[in-house]
Each structure stands twice: as C-alpha cells, then as structure tokens.
Amino acid sequence: MAVVGYCFGGLCALDLARAAPPNLKAAVSFHGGLTAPERSNRPQITAKILLLHGWEDPIVPPAEVLAITKELTVAGADWQLHAYGHARHAFTFESANFPERGIVYDSRADERSWAAMRNHLKATLDQ
C-alpha cells in the first residue's frame, strides 16, 4: 500500500507514515505541509518517503524542510527529498496563479515530480 497527497493531503500522507501502519510501503508528499503533530510516542517510520517540494515555497519554507529531514533521519526512515529550484507552492496545480501568495504552477517541476513519484512507487511496490 502507498499513500500520495498534495498540499494538505501531502501532510496527511506524511502523518500516516509517521503512524507506521504495518502495510504502508511508501508515502509521497507533493508540496505538502511537513510539520509533525505533537505527540510523545514516535514509532520508527517503515514506509519509504518521497518529499517533492518547491524550494521557493513561502508556505513551507526551507527551515521546515530541513526540520523534516532531521525528523525522518531520527525516525530511521528511508527518505528522499526532491527540491525544485524556483518552484513555489502548488507547483503541480495548473490553475495556480497567485504569485502574491507564493502559489504558482510550474510545468517543469510538475513533470519532474510526477516522474519522481512514478519511479519511487515502482521501486518500492515492485519489491
């Protein structure tokens, strides 16, 4: 089983991976929120994680990206981060055109992230 989410759904995909259900093999977050919920019990993350992020996303700035890399490392997760230069939040949503809010479609990041997700799922689920 794999979970894939965009924006808030990306955060939900990560939160499911953080819960470490036994059958979850992969989690993919497209321009999702990254901040972990507050809780004391943090199981080891067993799903393979792929984070697809626009580096110029003002909603989830680089400091939050660096924080999740530390979190995932501490949790023993097998993780990857693909950060797309000049891409902002919602880079996969063709109707996103709110540059004043940092929400802009980016066709290159969209294409690259889709290919990365397909490769991640193929490598993870075909095992």
Q: Are 60 and 51 in contact (CB under 8 A)?
A: no
Collapsed DSSP state (helix, strand, coil) of residue 64: helix
CATH of domain 2-125: 3.40.50.1820
pTM of the model: 0.95
Count of residues making up the chain: 127
Domain boundaries along the sequence of the chain: 2-125
* Distance between CA atoms of residues 45 and 79, nearest Å: 10
Exposure of 22 in the CB half-sphere (CA atoms within 13 A) = 0
User: pLDDT tens for residues 70-111?
Assistant: 999 999 999 999 999 999 999 999 999 999 999 999 999 999
